[in-house]
Copies of this chain bind each other. A is one copy, B any other.
Amino acid sequence: MKAVGIIAEYNPFHNGHKYQIEQARQATNADTVIVIMSGNWVQRGQPAILDKWTRAQMALENGADMVIELPVQCAVQPADIFARHAVNILASFKCEWLSFGSEHPDINFNELASVDLKATKIDQDYTKSYAELIRDALTNTTGEDVSAPNDVLALNYAIANLKNNHQMKLVPIKRNGANHHDRDLNINGAIASASSIRAAILDNSKELVQYLPNSTDIEALKNHVNWEDFWPLLKYKIETSSIDELNHIYQMTEGLEYRLKKYIYEAHSFDEFLRLVKSKRYTYARLQRLFVYTLLNWRKNDNLSQEYVRVLGFNKSGRSYLNDIKKQVELPVITKINKELSESELNFDVVSGRIYENINNIPQDAGKIPLIY
């Protein structure tokens, strides 16, 4: 059996994602579509608006044959690290193709990825992310402007695939409909951006139904979660931690711990805190990720690079594929969280899931088995 892999967050799953799965299957003629998805915390440093089980279910009901979870320590990372882990896991899972949405699917991502970036001068500009620096270097070197959010991610996938000698064939799919960050729901027929759908969910807007697949459990949308729900915990954590303890948090650099301490007593909400701490030096995503690390107590000396295949759900085709390749997968394949696991390698996922379930009251890990379709 041959599989196409898709890297996703599905925050939340919408018609554009359904379309992408269909297109990936069609373009590759793969037997199976494997989705690797962020769990309860997403790449830009936010809690997922709906928990990972609800989102995995939406994907399985709309074309995915299997959903695996990108471990939280791999997901809440800058784009290059996020891409590296996701690509590694899909490659280890023997995917033949890697498919992704792209604003400009005609870009030759493989060629761009093979540009010797060491030969280009990457400016140490602190206001830019690593991905942005790569993009700038590429524009300088090749004249190609890779700046749309999905193109940037695509390039990171291509680099990870090449750098780690994976052999997955890249399958860019033209993004259809709204742009990534569009805030307006009514842009383009039945496809709106995930950002605008999140805003509509938080507003309990009735319009949003048309942008979600028919199978969507509208009741489940009520269990939405956002950063403000965790604000009392983040506030408590920063208030009771010494400067030294904060300094030990992963990615707490350049005296950011003083900035956090300074503004924590002034802010009345997460949003206000984020805006107080923000400066030109840091992007919102960088700071939000730092707040996730602080909330979840990740420390500089923690091992945050563990990879494994955590299966969230599958249908018959997904299960056949799993049985087919199981023995060839070098990473641990995890289908059930027992007591032992919850205390070992899955610790970051389990703890982050518990903090999340304290808010939405839906068990996330202990004793959970994959969804079966």
A binding-site residues for B, Cβ under 8 Å: 232-233, 235-237, 239-242, 245, 265, 295-297, 351, 354-355, 358, 366
Question: Is the pair A296, B240 in contact by a Cβ cutoff of 8 Å?
Answer: yes
Report the Cα distance A351→B242, complex, angstroms: 11
Tell whether A241 pairs with B366 under 8 Å between CB atoms, given A232-B233, A358-B235: no
List of B residues within 8 angstroms of A241 by Cβ: 297
List of B residues within 8 angstroms of A242 by Cβ: 297
- A351 touches which one: B237, B239, B297, B355 (CB < 8 A)? B239
Tell whether A265 pairs with B366 under 8 Å between CB atoms, given A240-B296, A297-B240, A354-B239: yes
The 8 closest A-B pairs by CB, nearest first: A240-B297, A233-B236, A239-B354, A240-B351, A239-B351, A240-B296, A236-B355, A232-B358
Report the Cα distance A109→B297, complex, angstroms: 50
Report the Cα distance A371→B321, complex, angstroms: 73
Question: Is the pair B297, A355 in contact by a Cβ cutoff of 8 Å?
Answer: no
Q: How many copies does the complex hold?
A: 2
Report the Cα distance A240→B236, complex, angstroms: 12
Q: How far is the CB of A244 from chain B (nearest CB, A)?
A: 11
List of B residues within 8 angstroms of A245 by Cβ: 297
Q: How far is the CB of A246 from chain B (nearest CB, A)?
A: 12
List of B residues within 8 angstroms of A239 by Cβ: 351, 354-355, 358
Report the Cα distance A354→B241, complex, angstroms: 13
Report the Cα distance A237→B233, complex, angstroms: 9
Question: Is the pair A236, B351 in contact by a Cβ cutoff of 8 Å?
Answer: no
A-B contact pairs, 25 of them (CB 8 A): A232-B232, A232-B233, A232-B358, A233-B233, A233-B236, A235-B358, A236-B236, A236-B237, A236-B355, A236-B358, A237-B240, A239-B351, A239-B354, A239-B355, A239-B358, A240-B295, A240-B296, A240-B297, A240-B351, A240-B355, A241-B297, A242-B297, A245-B297, A265-B354, A265-B366
A236-B236, A240-B295, A242-B297 known; 13 other A-B pairs, CB under 8 Å?
A232-B233, A232-B358, A233-B236, A236-B355, A236-B358, A239-B351, A239-B358, A240-B296, A240-B297, A240-B355, A241-B297, A245-B297, A265-B354
Report the Cα distance A241→B248, complex, angstroms: 13
Report the Cα distance A366→B241, complex, angstroms: 18
Report the Cα distance A235→B235, complex, angstroms: 15
Report the Cα distance A355→B351, complex, angstroms: 23
List of B residues within 8 angstroms of A295 by Cβ: 240
List of B residues within 8 angstroms of A232 by Cβ: 232-233, 358
List of B residues within 8 angstroms of A233 by Cβ: 232-233, 236
List of B residues within 8 angstroms of A297 by Cβ: 240-242, 245
Report the Cα distance A241→B241, complex, angstroms: 12
Q: How far is the CB of A285 from chain B (nearest CB, A)?
A: 22
Q: How far is the CB of A236 from chain B (nearest CB, A)?
A: 5
List of B residues within 8 angstroms of A236 by Cβ: 233, 236-237, 355, 358
Q: Which of A239, A240, A241, A366 has the most CB of B within 10 A?
A: A240
Residue of B nearest to A294 (CB): B240
List of B residues within 8 angstroms of A235 by Cβ: 358
List of B residues within 8 angstroms of A237 by Cβ: 236, 240
Residue of B nearest to A233 (CB): B236
Report the Cα distance A344→B94, complex, angstroms: 58
Q: How far is the CB of A345 from chain B (nearest CB, A)?
A: 15
Report the Cα distance A265→B358, complex, angstroms: 11
List of B residues within 8 angstroms of A358 by Cβ: 232, 235-236, 239
Q: How far is the CB of A122 from chain B (nearest CB, A)?
A: 36
